[in-house]
């Protein structure tokens, strides 16, 4: 564990009601920078605990690797918000907090008397950050959604893949993580504004809008000229996209500091210096033959050798498609302390991605692993709300915890 330095948000308390990826990630970012984040879960645990992959393939609520990563540095309590007692306890927590992060369907918290309009009457300085697929209002706001729907509805799938196949979704949950980053950023903005206005506000993050906002050329093209960006042609377009070599895949483009003759030298093919490959238009016109020449030229070359040669000797724009093993051993990530070793009470030691960005004076800090279900009930309810241990027994009997 790295030595403790002043934390950016150590005077902020966050109640994390959210489930899954986007909301928990937003709250985790604030926790990494010192906020006291209390993860409030229903008695059976939030759905993220049952998201695979699981540690050693054991589908146990304390072994979800998603949950581990997304809930570092948080304290955890259980609370049944669907009971009157649970609702009153949550309101007590809100009185002593700065931010609530939630990801429920619009209208659910209002049905419990726990929406922003209700909570601001209790604490006028409270900030509620709601992260949902389509936002808090609009004709789609009450629709349920998942990652693939956000990708489809945002437009990014329409330009992904090749034109002879159906639109392609990227791997992973990038829309969820982007929404989480936006949730943390907007919450921080709201906290900064509160320093001047002394008032809280409701932050509304739509995952559809977050992903769509990254379409910085696609949407303006349509707005300006009515043009629609299509997917790639299936043949003759590999250069500038992913291509195979001996032990994996790579991507190479013109530019950087290399001339076209130098790029041809890198591939070791004098034929690439002929006029029919001299510029982008000619290479596209003769794309199918061009691709065959390059694939044949690199079939016995390895990713790492080409990456080193292209980058250091020829100053080419060149990247390799790194696998999890490659990333775990990546010297660039290692040099920047990107990974963090977490010592979890059930899983033991697990190395996870941790630092999104580096700050020289107030860096992200690892303080504790993700909480076990209800791990900090006694600590939070007795020390923060002044309940007795006898009170906790009674609250469990009332199904409030």
354-382 confidence digits (pLDDT tens) = 999 999 899 999 999 999 999 999 999 99
Domains of the chain: 13-213+333-397 (3.40.50.10540), 249-320 (no CATH)
Mean predicted confidence (pLDDT) in 334-354: 95
How does pLDDT run across 16-75, given as a tens digit for each residue? Answer: 999 999 999 999 999 999 999 999 999 999 999 999 999 999 999 999 999 999 999 999
How does pLDDT run across 73-84, given as a tens digit for each residue? Answer: 999 999 999 999
Residue whose tokens read 């043949």: 235
For residues 134, 137, 142, 146, the Cα torsion angle rounded to the nearest 10 degrees is: 10
How does pLDDT run across 288-317, given as a tens digit for each residue? Answer: 899 999 999 999 999 999 999 999 999 999
Which neighbouring-strand residues pair with 253?
A: 317
The pLDDT of residue 1 is above 50: no
How does pLDDT run across 127-173, given as a tens digit for each residue? Answer: 999 999 999 999 999 999 888 998 889 888 888 887 788 888 888 89
| Residue 218 vs residue 136, higher pLDDT | 136
Mean predicted confidence (pLDDT) in 319-340: 94
pLDDT at 113: 97
How does pLDDT run across 220-244, given as a tens digit for each residue? Answer: 666 777 767 776 776 666 777 889 9
Cα distance between residue 185 and residue 267, in whole Å: 44
Mean predicted confidence (pLDDT) in 337-358: 94
Percent of the chain with pLDDT over 70: 95
Instruction: Please give the structure tokens belonging to residue 250.
Output: 């790579």
């Amino acid at each position: 564990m790295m030595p403790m330095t002043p934390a950016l948000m150590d005077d902020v308390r966050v109640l994390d009601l959210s489930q899954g990826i986007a909301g928990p990630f937003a709250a985790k970012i604030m926790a990494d920078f010192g906020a006291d984040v209390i993860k409030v879960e229903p008695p059976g645990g939030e759905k993220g605990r049952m998201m695979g992959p699981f540690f050693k393939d054991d589908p146990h609520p304390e072994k979800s690797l998603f949950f581990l990563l997304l809930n570092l540095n948080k304290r955890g309590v259980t609370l049944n918000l669907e009971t009157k007692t649970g609702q009153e306890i949550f309101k007590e927590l809100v009185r002593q907090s700065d931010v609530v992060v939630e990801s429920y369907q619009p209208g659910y918290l209002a049905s419990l008397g726990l929406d922003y309009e209700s909570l601001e009457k209790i604490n006028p300085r409270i900030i509620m950050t709601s992260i949902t697929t389509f936002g808090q209002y609009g004709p789609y706001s009450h629709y349920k959604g998942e990652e693939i729907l956000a990708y489809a509805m945002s437009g990014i799938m329409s330009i992904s893949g090749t034109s002879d196949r159906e639109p392609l979704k990227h791997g992973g949950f990038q829309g969820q993580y982007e929404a989480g980053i936006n949730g943390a950023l907007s919450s921080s903005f709201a906290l900064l504004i509160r320093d001047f206005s002394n008032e809280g506000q409701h932050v509304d993050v739509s995952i559809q809008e977050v992903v769509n906002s990254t379409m910085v050329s696609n949407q303006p093209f349509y707005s300006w000229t009515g043009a629609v960006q299509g997917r790639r042609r299936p043949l003759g377009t590999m250069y500038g996209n992913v291509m195979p070599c001996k032990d994996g895949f790579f991507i190479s483009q013109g530019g950087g500091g290399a001339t076209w003759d130098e790029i041809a030298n890198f591939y070791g093919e004098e034929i690439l210096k002929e006029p029919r490959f001299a510029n982008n238009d000619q290479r596209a016109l003769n794309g199918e033959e061009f691709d065959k020449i390059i694939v044949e030229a690199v079939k016995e070359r390895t990713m790492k050798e080409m990456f080193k040669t292209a980058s250091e000797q020829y100053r080419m724009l060149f990247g390799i498609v790194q696998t999890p093993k490659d990333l775990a051993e990546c010297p660039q990530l290692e040099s920047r302390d990107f990974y963090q070793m977490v010592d979890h009470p059930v899983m033991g030691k697990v190395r996870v991605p941790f630092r999104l960005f580096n700050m020289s004076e107030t860096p992200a800090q690892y303080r504790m692993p993700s909480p076990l279900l209800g791990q900090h009930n006694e600590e939070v309810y007795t020390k923060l709300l002044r309940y007795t241990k006898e009170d906790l027994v009674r609250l469990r009997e009332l199904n409030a915890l």
